[in-house]
A = this chain, B = another copy of it.
Amino acid sequence: MAQAIRLRQASSPLKASCHQCSLSNLCLPLAIEENDLDSLEDIVQQGRIFNRGEHIFDQSTPFRSCFAVRSGSVKTSIITEGGEEQVTGFFMPGELIGLDSMSSDSYACTAKALERTSVCEFPVEKLEELTGKLPDLQHHMYHLMSQEIQNSHQLAMLLSKNTAEERIAALLLSLSSRFQRRRMSGTNFSLPMARNDIANFLGLAVETVSRVFTRFQNQGIIKARGREVELLDVEALQMVTREFSRQGSQ
Protein backbone atom coordinates (compact mmCIF):
# COMPACT_ATOMS: atom_id res chain seq x y z
CA MET A 1 0.00 0.00 0.00
CA ALA A 2 2.72 2.35 0.94
CA GLN A 3 4.37 1.37 -2.31
CA ALA A 4 1.31 2.22 -4.34
CA ILE A 5 1.17 5.62 -2.78
CA ARG A 6 4.83 6.16 -3.41
CA LEU A 7 4.59 5.20 -7.04
CA ARG A 8 1.66 7.41 -7.67
CA GLN A 9 3.39 10.37 -6.11
CA ALA A 10 6.63 9.69 -7.88
CA SER A 11 4.93 10.24 -11.17
CA SER A 12 2.77 13.12 -10.04
CA PRO A 13 3.64 16.81 -10.31
CA LEU A 14 4.43 16.67 -6.59
CA LYS A 15 7.64 14.92 -7.43
CA ALA A 16 9.79 17.88 -8.32
CA SER A 17 9.22 20.02 -5.30
CA CYS A 18 12.53 20.22 -3.47
CA HIS A 19 12.69 23.52 -5.34
CA GLN A 20 9.71 24.93 -3.52
CA CYS A 21 10.17 23.15 -0.22
CA SER A 22 10.35 25.68 2.56
CA LEU A 23 12.88 23.47 4.32
CA SER A 24 15.37 23.31 1.47
CA ASN A 25 17.70 25.55 3.43
CA LEU A 26 17.91 22.96 6.22
CA CYS A 27 17.63 19.72 4.34
CA LEU A 28 19.92 18.06 1.81
CA PRO A 29 19.23 20.59 -1.01
CA LEU A 30 21.14 23.10 1.10
CA ALA A 31 24.49 22.44 -0.45
CA ILE A 32 23.40 21.78 -3.98
CA GLU A 33 23.53 23.83 -7.12
CA GLU A 34 20.15 24.69 -8.58
CA ASN A 35 20.63 22.45 -11.59
CA ASP A 36 21.73 19.49 -9.45
CA LEU A 37 18.53 19.64 -7.46
CA ASP A 38 16.81 17.65 -10.16
CA SER A 39 19.09 14.66 -9.64
CA LEU A 40 18.30 14.73 -5.94
CA GLU A 41 14.61 14.90 -6.72
CA ASP A 42 14.97 11.91 -8.97
CA ILE A 43 15.93 9.71 -6.07
CA VAL A 44 13.76 11.14 -3.32
CA GLN A 45 10.32 9.84 -2.56
CA GLN A 46 8.39 12.69 -1.12
CA GLY A 47 5.37 13.08 1.02
CA ARG A 48 5.03 9.80 2.82
CA ILE A 49 2.65 10.32 5.71
CA PHE A 50 2.74 8.61 9.10
CA ASN A 51 0.18 8.97 11.83
CA ARG A 52 0.99 9.50 15.47
CA GLY A 53 2.61 6.39 16.88
CA GLU A 54 3.38 4.78 13.52
CA HIS A 55 6.86 3.48 12.87
CA ILE A 56 8.84 4.99 10.01
CA PHE A 57 11.30 2.15 10.37
CA ASP A 58 12.11 -0.51 12.95
CA GLN A 59 15.34 -1.47 14.61
CA SER A 60 16.96 -4.59 13.10
CA THR A 61 14.93 -4.48 9.90
CA PRO A 62 16.89 -4.10 6.65
CA PHE A 63 18.33 -0.65 6.26
CA ARG A 64 17.17 0.91 3.02
CA SER A 65 16.70 4.63 3.35
CA CYS A 66 17.35 7.81 5.25
CA PHE A 67 14.40 10.07 5.90
CA ALA A 68 14.05 13.81 6.11
CA VAL A 69 11.25 15.18 8.23
CA ARG A 70 8.97 17.49 6.26
CA SER A 71 6.40 18.23 8.91
CA GLY A 72 5.55 16.81 12.29
CA SER A 73 8.23 15.24 14.46
CA VAL A 74 9.94 11.93 15.08
CA LYS A 75 11.47 10.13 18.02
CA THR A 76 14.29 7.63 17.56
CA SER A 77 15.10 5.04 20.18
CA ILE A 78 17.11 1.91 20.77
CA ILE A 79 15.64 -1.16 22.40
CA THR A 80 18.16 -3.09 24.47
CA GLU A 81 18.31 -6.84 24.85
CA GLY A 82 16.44 -6.48 28.11
CA GLY A 83 13.60 -4.65 26.42
CA GLU A 84 14.51 -1.25 27.84
CA GLU A 85 14.02 1.75 25.61
CA GLN A 86 16.57 4.50 25.21
CA VAL A 87 15.46 7.58 23.29
CA THR A 88 18.38 8.72 21.16
CA GLY A 89 16.89 11.80 19.56
CA PHE A 90 14.00 13.97 18.50
CA PHE A 91 13.81 15.08 14.89
CA MET A 92 12.08 18.20 13.65
CA PRO A 93 11.27 19.32 10.10
CA GLY A 94 14.38 19.67 7.96
CA GLU A 95 16.36 17.12 9.96
CA LEU A 96 17.66 13.83 8.60
CA ILE A 97 16.99 10.45 10.24
CA GLY A 98 18.89 7.21 9.79
CA LEU A 99 22.49 8.39 9.67
CA ASP A 100 23.32 6.13 12.59
CA SER A 101 22.29 3.12 10.53
CA MET A 102 24.74 3.58 7.67
CA SER A 103 27.26 1.26 9.27
CA SER A 104 25.14 -1.85 9.09
CA ASP A 105 22.62 -3.69 7.01
CA SER A 106 19.81 -3.05 9.46
CA TYR A 107 18.45 -0.01 11.22
CA ALA A 108 20.25 0.78 14.47
CA CYS A 109 17.15 2.30 16.01
CA THR A 110 13.41 2.61 15.68
CA ALA A 111 11.85 5.83 14.37
CA LYS A 112 8.35 6.64 15.49
CA ALA A 113 6.15 9.55 14.51
CA LEU A 114 5.24 11.65 17.53
CA GLU A 115 2.38 13.28 15.64
CA ARG A 116 1.04 13.24 12.11
CA THR A 117 4.29 13.42 10.20
CA SER A 118 5.37 13.73 6.60
CA VAL A 119 8.80 12.57 5.49
CA CYS A 120 10.91 12.38 2.35
CA GLU A 121 12.65 9.08 1.74
CA PHE A 122 16.18 8.82 0.36
CA PRO A 123 17.10 5.27 -0.68
CA VAL A 124 20.63 4.92 0.60
CA GLU A 125 22.02 3.14 -2.44
CA LYS A 126 20.95 5.91 -4.73
CA LEU A 127 22.01 8.52 -2.24
CA GLU A 128 25.52 7.10 -2.06
CA GLU A 129 25.67 6.91 -5.80
CA LEU A 130 24.63 10.53 -6.07
CA THR A 131 27.05 11.81 -3.42
CA GLY A 132 29.81 10.14 -5.41
CA LYS A 133 28.93 12.39 -8.32
CA LEU A 134 28.18 15.60 -6.45
CA PRO A 135 31.09 16.63 -4.21
CA ASP A 136 29.00 19.32 -2.55
CA LEU A 137 26.34 16.81 -1.61
CA GLN A 138 28.98 14.44 -0.29
CA HIS A 139 30.47 17.23 1.75
CA HIS A 140 27.04 17.98 3.12
CA MET A 141 26.51 14.37 4.12
CA TYR A 142 29.80 14.37 6.00
CA HIS A 143 28.71 17.59 7.58
CA LEU A 144 25.39 16.17 8.73
CA MET A 145 26.90 12.97 10.08
CA SER A 146 29.61 14.87 11.88
CA GLN A 147 26.97 17.13 13.36
CA GLU A 148 25.14 14.08 14.56
CA ILE A 149 28.29 12.87 16.33
CA GLN A 150 28.71 16.23 17.97
CA ASN A 151 25.08 16.29 19.06
CA SER A 152 25.49 12.91 20.61
CA HIS A 153 28.65 14.02 22.40
CA GLN A 154 26.77 17.04 23.72
CA LEU A 155 24.08 14.72 24.99
CA ALA A 156 26.62 12.44 26.64
CA MET A 157 28.10 15.47 28.32
CA LEU A 158 24.73 16.64 29.54
CA LEU A 159 24.00 13.19 30.90
CA SER A 160 27.29 12.71 32.63
CA LYS A 161 27.83 16.06 34.24
CA ASN A 162 24.65 18.05 34.59
CA THR A 163 21.77 18.14 37.02
CA ALA A 164 18.15 17.50 36.14
CA GLU A 165 17.43 21.24 35.92
CA GLU A 166 20.38 21.83 33.63
CA ARG A 167 19.40 18.99 31.33
CA ILE A 168 15.83 20.17 30.97
CA ALA A 169 16.84 23.78 30.47
CA ALA A 170 19.20 22.63 27.72
CA LEU A 171 16.48 20.62 26.01
CA LEU A 172 14.02 23.52 26.12
CA LEU A 173 16.62 25.85 24.63
CA SER A 174 17.51 23.33 21.94
CA LEU A 175 13.88 22.95 20.94
CA SER A 176 13.44 26.70 21.06
CA SER A 177 16.27 27.35 18.64
CA ARG A 178 15.06 24.62 16.32
CA PHE A 179 11.60 26.14 16.22
CA GLN A 180 13.10 29.54 15.57
CA ARG A 181 15.11 28.20 12.67
CA ARG A 182 11.82 27.38 11.03
CA ARG A 183 10.61 30.94 11.56
CA MET A 184 8.28 29.82 14.32
CA SER A 185 8.08 31.24 17.78
CA GLY A 186 11.06 30.30 19.91
CA THR A 187 9.27 31.18 23.12
CA ASN A 188 5.85 29.73 22.59
CA PHE A 189 5.55 26.21 21.33
CA SER A 190 4.03 22.85 21.91
CA LEU A 191 6.22 19.94 22.92
CA PRO A 192 5.76 17.08 20.45
CA MET A 193 6.85 14.46 22.98
CA ALA A 194 5.47 13.16 26.26
CA ARG A 195 7.12 13.73 29.62
CA ASN A 196 8.09 10.10 29.53
CA ASP A 197 10.12 10.58 26.35
CA ILE A 198 11.82 13.65 27.77
CA ALA A 199 12.71 11.73 30.89
CA ASN A 200 14.04 8.78 28.93
CA PHE A 201 16.04 10.99 26.59
CA LEU A 202 17.60 12.97 29.42
CA GLY A 203 18.25 10.00 31.66
CA LEU A 204 15.78 11.08 34.34
CA ALA A 205 12.68 9.69 36.00
CA VAL A 206 9.34 11.02 34.77
CA GLU A 207 8.64 12.38 38.21
CA THR A 208 11.83 14.39 38.17
CA VAL A 209 10.95 15.96 34.83
CA SER A 210 7.55 16.90 36.16
CA ARG A 211 9.02 18.38 39.31
CA VAL A 212 11.55 20.47 37.41
CA PHE A 213 8.84 21.81 35.12
CA THR A 214 6.80 22.99 38.08
CA ARG A 215 9.91 24.38 39.78
CA PHE A 216 10.75 26.40 36.67
CA GLN A 217 7.17 27.56 36.58
CA ASN A 218 7.19 28.67 40.21
CA GLN A 219 10.37 30.61 39.50
CA GLY A 220 8.62 32.37 36.64
CA ILE A 221 11.09 31.04 34.07
CA ILE A 222 8.51 29.17 32.00
CA LYS A 223 4.80 28.68 31.81
CA ALA A 224 3.74 25.11 31.09
CA ARG A 225 0.36 23.52 30.80
CA GLY A 226 0.60 20.00 29.51
CA ARG A 227 2.61 20.11 26.34
CA GLU A 228 2.10 23.82 25.78
CA VAL A 229 5.22 25.65 26.87
CA GLU A 230 6.04 29.32 27.03
CA LEU A 231 9.56 30.45 27.78
CA LEU A 232 9.14 33.56 29.90
CA ASP A 233 12.79 34.17 30.73
CA VAL A 234 15.19 32.74 28.16
CA GLU A 235 18.20 34.35 29.83
CA ALA A 236 17.38 32.64 33.08
CA LEU A 237 17.23 29.32 31.24
CA GLN A 238 20.62 29.97 29.70
CA MET A 239 21.92 30.80 33.15
CA VAL A 240 20.70 27.43 34.38
CA THR A 241 22.51 25.53 31.63
CA ARG A 242 25.73 27.36 32.38
CA GLU A 243 25.39 27.03 36.11
CA PHE A 244 27.51 23.95 36.18
CA SER A 245 30.37 25.40 34.15
CA ARG A 246 30.37 28.41 36.44
CA GLN A 247 30.89 26.42 39.55
CA GLY A 248 33.58 24.45 37.79
CA SER A 249 35.54 27.52 36.83
CA GLN A 250 35.51 29.06 40.24
Contacts and interface: CB of A to CB of B under 8 A. Distances in A.
Contact of A102 (B82, B146, B244): B146
Interface of A: 78, 80-84, 86, 88, 99-104, 108-109, 128-129, 131-133, 135, 138-139, 141-150, 152-153, 155-157, 159-161, 202-203, 242, 244-249
Interface residues of A, dominant DSSP: helix
Contacts of A81: 242, 245
A103 B138 contact: no
A146 B103 contact: yes
Closest 6 CB pairs of A and B: A82-B245, A160-B203, A152-B152, A103-B146, A102-B146, A159-B159
Given A102-B145, A103-B150, A145-B146, 14 more contacts: A81-B242, A81-B245, A82-B247, A82-B249, A84-B161, A86-B153, A86-B161, A100-B146, A103-B143, A128-B142, A145-B149, A149-B152, A152-B155, A160-B203
A229 to B, nearest CB: 22
Contact of A139 (B99, B128, B155, B249): B128
